[in-house]
Amino acid sequence: MESHQARAETLAAEDVLLFVNAAVTATGQREFRSDAAEQRMSLDFLHAYVCGNYRPLYAASLALDVNDHNAALIVRRLLETAGEATVEERRAEGRLIAARLARLPAPRAYRLFRALREARVNNRRTRAIVRDWFAARPDPALDAVKYRAGLAGAARHAHLPLAGVAGGELGDFLFAPDRRARYATPLLDAWRRAHYERAALYELPFTVAEGFAARHGVDRRAFLERIAPRMTRLERLRVQESARAHRASVAAELAALPLTRLASYVLGLPLDDRVARRAELTGALRAAARRAAGARAGTWGRVAAVLDDSFSATGSRQKRQRPLAVALACHFLLEALAGSYRPLWTSGRTDALLVYPYGATPLGMRVLDALETGPERLVIVSDGWDNTPPGLAGEVLRVWRSRLDPRGEVPVLHLNPVYDAADFAVRRLAAAVPTVGVRRAEDLPTLAQLARFAEGRTGLAELRAHLDERVREFLAAADAAAATGGAE
C-alpha cells in the first residue's frame, strides 16, 4: 500500500512539473517542428488535465515563472471552473489571480477579459476581480486612449464604476465621445483634438499617435523624432530599424532593457552592424546580465555551458530566433554567475556576438568537450534534438552520471526553450539529467532550483512545500507593490 501511495505521489509530482515546463515555455505559437494548432491543442489538454486533477497546484503555478500566455489561460480556466472549487480554494485562487493580473501587460489582461466575456463567464467573483484590477490601474485615462475597445468591453462586462473616474468623463469618452465639446482631462482632450490638429498627436502615447500621424500624412522622420520623448524603452527598441531607414534620431537605452529582449534585438541586427557596435552591444548585454544575476554574481564556481546555435534555433515566423536569443542571453548570464566560465556553441563558433542559426546539432560532442574541462556545473541550452550523431548526448550523460559521477557532485542542467507539442513536454536529453523549460534567461537561477524536483529524487510533499513558499513570496511581493502603488 505504501509503495502504491509513493508511486501515486511521484506521478503527481511528474504531472505538475510537466505542466510547469510547458507553461514556462509554450505560447501556443508555431515552433520550428510544430504548427500553432498542434501547440494550442497540446496546451489545452495539459491545462484541462492539471486543473481537473491538481487544482491547488494548478493555481499555485501562477506564482512561478510561467509566461504571460499561460498565466492568462490559468486565470481564465480557474474562473470558468469556479463551481468545481471549494470555498477555501476560491479564496486562495482569488489572491493569486489578483496578484498575477497586476503583473500582466495591459493588452494581455484586456484580451483575457474579452475571452471571459465571450465564454459568458460573468459571475460576481469575476466581475469583482476585474473591478479591483481596474481600480488599481495607475492612469485610467491612458488605458482609455491606448486600449479603448478593451476597456469598453471590460466596462460593460464587469459593470465598472466609471462615474467617478477622470472627473466623470471616462464613460462619455468610451461610449459617447461626441457628447462633450471638450474634455477637462488633458489626455482625453488631446485624443479629441488629434482628429483635426497635428500638434495634438504629440501629446498622445506613441502607438495611438502613430495612427493619427498616418492619417494626417505626417513625415515619418519628423514624427519619430518629435514623438520619441513619449516612447517607452521597448517602443524605442522596436522602432530602431524604421528610424534608421528614415534617418531619424531615436536613441534606445539598451543597458536598461531586459536581458532576453536585448538578446533578441542584437540577433535581429546584421552581422556588420554587430561588429561595428561591438563595444556598445556587449556592454549592454553584460550590464543586463549583471542586473539579472544580482547577489548571485560570481557564486557558481567553474561553469561550462553547451549552447545550441544550430539551424533549428531559427524558431518560426512568430518566434523568430527565440531559441537562439534565449541561448545568447543565458551565455551572458552564466558568464556573470560563474567564477570562471567556458562556453561551447554547437557550431564551434567562439564569438557569441556573431552567432546565427546554422548547421546540425552535435550536442554529444560539445557535452564531451565541456566535461573534459572539469566543470563544477554544466548547463546545456538546447531544444534537445541531438542529431550528429543522434542520441550521443544522452548516452554521454548517462555514462557520466552512472559511471563517473554517480553521486551527482557535478550538477547538470538542461534548459529547453522549445515546447514539444507531440510529447506534451520539453524534450529531454537523458533520464538522469533534469530538463526544465525556459523562456527568459533571467529566470535561470530560479529554474535551477526547480530542476532538483525534475531529477525524481523528491516527491509531491517537497514540491508542495516549494510551491507554498513561492506563493508566499509572490503574494508578499504583490502586497508590497500595491502598498507603494507599484503594481504596474
How many whole angstroms from its chain centre is CA 486?
A: 20
413, 309, 23, 414 alpha-carbon torsion, rounded to 10°: -10
What is d(CA 284, CA 256) in angstroms, rounded to the nearest whole number? 8
Return the minimum-mean-pLDDT range out of 1-10, 253-262, 287-296. Answer: 1-10
Find out whether 187 and 171 touch, Cβ atoms under 8 Å.
no
Q: What is the pLDDT of residue 173?
A: 94
Angle at CA 133, nearest 5°, toward 467 and 93? 30
CATH number of this structure's domain 276-457: 3.40.50
How far apart, in whole angstroms, are the C-alpha atoms of residue 293 and residue 310?
Answer: 27
Q: Where are the domains of the chain?
A: 276-457
CA dist., res. 356 & res. 361, Å (int): 13
Q: pLDDT tens digits, residue range 116-167? A: 999 999 889 999 999 999 999 999 999 999 999 999 999 999 999 888 887 7
Give the confidence band of 254 by pLDDT, cuts at 50, 70, 90: confident
- With pLDDT > 70 as the criterion, what percentage of the chain qualifies? 97
Distance separating alpha carbons of residues 420 and 425, to the nearest angstrom: 5
Could you report the per-residue pLDDT of 445-469, keeping only the tens digit for each? 989 888 877 765 566 788 888 899 9
Strands 435-437 and 412-416 come out as parallel
Q: How many CA atoms within 13 Å lie on the side-chain side of 97?
A: 29
pLDDT digits (tens, 9 = 90+) for 175-229: 998 888 999 999 999 999 999 999 999 999 999 999 999 999 999 999 999 999 9
What is the reported pLDDT for 179? 87
